[in-house]
Amino acid sequence: MSPRRIPLDTTVTAPRPGATQRLHLRAAGVSVVLDVTDGRIPAVAHWGADLGPLGPAGIDALCEAGIDAVPQNAVDVPVRIGLLPQVSDGWIGRPGLSGARPDGSGWTSRLVTEGIVLDGAPLTASHAETGAAAVRLDLADPAQGLAVALTLELLPTGLLRLRATLTNTGGSPYALDELTLALPVPDEAEELLDFAGRWTKERTPQRRDFTVGTHLRENRRGRTGADAAHVLHAGRAGFGFRAGEVWGVHTAFSGNHRHLAEQTSTGRRVLGGGELLLPGEMRLDPGAQYTGPWLYASYGEGLDAVARRFHRHLRARPHHVDTARPVTLNVWEAVYFDHDLARLTDLADRAAALGVERYVLDDGWFGSRRDDFSGLGDWEVSAEVWPEGLGPLVDHVTGLGMEFGLWFEPEMVNEDSDLARAHPEWILGPTLDALPLESRHQQVLNLSIPAAYQHVRDQMLAVLDRYDIGYLKWDHNRDLLEAATRATGRAAVHEQTLAAYRLMDELKAAHPGLEIESCSSGGARVDLEVLEHTDRVWVSDCIDPLERQQMHRWTSQLIPLELMGSHIASGRSHTTGRLHTLGFRAHSALFGHLGIEWDLSEASAAELEELTAWIALYTQHRDLLFRGELVRADRGESRVWVQGVVAPEREEALFQVTAVGRADTAQEPRLRLPGLDPAATYRVRALLPADQHARLTLPPWMRTALAEDGVSLPGTVLGRAGLSAPLLDPEQGLLLSLTRE
């Protein structure tokens, strides 16, 4: 049978008439137009480049002009893609809300908009045009007994974020399977970029075409994951750091979560994300609510612009760290579990002499923890290893003017521990008679059990109350498999994640000024929500400087440099076995929150002198590094990477040039330094370790920059015409310091 054709003069109306209200939000070069037509579910008519003032007529024109034609063999009205896509609107893709009542009903929703609140006041007008603003849209489906409060905020940075709260207004329980928000992206978004990876190689980029179907990234690890999507981008084909429109989303949640990019057969495309709920995990009794995580959305011309919105948002928070990020020594790769007071105080003396400002004692200070096999969960100082407690080391470190930090892994437990023997029911597992497979010889402590939570909190507070500790390295070394409350068998990842946040907050409230690092087998818990409760992330357990070049390059797509733990490793990498010069190790660590992970007693006098110089270079430039804007040059297939930070006023900059592989040609592509003021003139100085001068083949301009007090070059030359590049061997780098004249 042929599809029924709708006569051209037929007026197609929405099935649920109601008020029509439309909003235009504008901030920092971004416009978001929100369309509530006839009271239907809210839809985004535009998210992208600033449209300028539109006025009511312009807003209406945009919304009306964007209504699709009705194709043959489809529903008889134009399909509406709401922020919470639903089948009842004709959407044939993944629904935003999925769940059911015990009898199987309630699985399809017909949510309508009952009210709009703009910046705290009910919106009664048909149109509103404003700057950065917060909008709450109250949705309801009385027939199914469901209500949704949908919050959408366009922040002053131009970053968009949204989240939803579902309330069961019906008379029977509602089992929620999924609450995933979605944003439309235009036809020009032809290519996808997100990230994969593994332990010691986090945030590996991957690209693919944006084709029909669903590109679904589901993380079921119970933590963000070393293979997390990180940021899911869609953009014009070939988009790079500096060019091509890009739209990106990030699900801010540290437990199970999803990102998706979906194109239906109609050609319409969306990006979305939300929490991944396990079967039966979210059962809402009558009157109960569930609030999903924030979905952040960033738009810009090139990946740098997308990243910049995330960075500016984080830096605008009142609790964000300052730019004086302390140089940190972590003793893990120096001593591992071999805790000896004389050796550790010697490391402290050597560190202080170099200019180190924070000293962190890692795993092995508590209970029976002499190796990976026992003691996790027993957070009391080991009398065997520390007969006088930690006081002698803490006092020595703080007496040298350094802050003392300590390692914890509060969410974990060894089966061989006093805690596990006393309370086996506190371990996450499918039943009382079964436990998940061990990983790293450990299990997960169920912090959703109040007594377990209180036990860990009180033990940690006892240590923090006794000693002068300003910093916690908070580790999380295994995935959550079969993560359930053993007494009930009900999945517990959601509650476990919220309990971890709550514990972090309680400790910081009890000890104002306490900083926490999110470490999770390295970089497996890196997301915007954990950073609401912590102060930096450990990028990776791999400190190999070559591997870190890639991991830093892409971790910074979401978070700024001051939140990225970046350490100078020992000469031979403990994870890859590679040997690297100190110059390259320090060069790679400089663009981040600098630290050291090296047995300094094995360093030569020359190495200690060079290390002191690198630390001085970091302290000299950290204010610029941590307030400047990240810029990365598009260089095609070149294996010489160029990135920098440019001060907001563009009066100074610091650029890093790094050879990450062998070149295919004798000459390197010209160096173009993005982000500068093309109308300004800059004094360019090459900062090279002395031992590299003789080993590099330098172009004339750089020899001048080294021999004299720099070279004066116009910004338009630096950014557009470019400079001849030095001939770098693999794993060599240089730094360029620029100051406006």
Question: Cβ distance 526 to 195 under 8 Å?
Answer: no
Domains of the chain: 21-315 (2.70.98.60), 328-623 (3.20.20.70), 630-740 (2.60.40.1180)
CA–CA gap between residue 504 and residue 543 (Å, rounded): 26
Encode burial over 549-579: b for 16+ CB neighbours within 10 A, e otherwise: bbbbbbbbbbbbbbbbbbbbbbeebbbbeee
The predicted pLDDT at position 518 comes to 98
Neighbours of 696 (CB within 10 A): 17
Quote the tokens at residue 480.
Answer: 């959550």
Alpha-carbon distance of 107 to 662, in angstroms, equals: 57
CA separation (Å) from 653 to 143, 279, 298, 312, 699? 60, 51, 25, 18, 21
Which residue's entry shows tokens 């338009």? 716
What does the pLDDT read at residue 690?
A: 54
State pTM to two decimals.
0.96
3-state secondary structure of 586: helix
The residue type found at 194 is D
Q: Is the pLDDT of residue 616 over 60?
A: yes
Among candidate residues 598, 513, 476, the one with its CA nearest the CA of residue 221: 476
Residue 319 in this model has a pLDDT that exceeds 80: yes
Cβ–Cβ < 8 Å for 25, 133: yes
Does residue 12 surpass a pLDDT of 70? Answer: no
Per-residue confidence (pLDDT) for residue 693, from 0 to 100? 61
Interacting residues of 310 by C-beta distance below 8 A, sequence separation 6+: 159, 231, 250, 296, 298, 528, 557, 558, 559, 560
Mean pLDDT across the stretch 181-206?
98
| Cα–Cα nearest to 507, from 539, 470, 452 | 470
Confidence tier at 585 by pLDDT (50, 70, 90): very high
Active site residues: 475, 541
pLDDT band at 662 (very low <50, low <70, confident <90, very high): confident
pLDDT digits (tens, 9 = 90+) for 325-368: 999 999 999 999 999 999 999 999 999 999 999 999 999 999 99
Instruction: Decide if 184 contacts 46 (C-beta within 8 A).
Output: no
Residue 6 confidence (pLDDT) above 70: no
E strand or H helix at 551, and its extent? helix 545-555
Question: In this predicted structure, what is the pLDDT of residue 659?
Answer: 94
- The pLDDT of 105-115, averaged and rounded, is 95
Indicate the length of the chain as a whole number: 741
* Tokens read off for 583: 């110059």
Q: What's the average model confidence in pLDDT over 302-315? A: 98
Strand partners, 681: 714
The whole-number average pLDDT for the span 112-131 is 96
The mean-pLDDT minimum among 72-86, 302-316, 382-396, 557-571 falls in: 72-86
- Residue 597's alpha-carbon distances to 40, 64, 76, 276, 362, in angstroms, are 57, 59, 65, 36, 11
d(CA 696, CA 668): 13
Q: Look over the chain and give the mean of its residue pLDDT values, rounded to a whole number.
A: 95
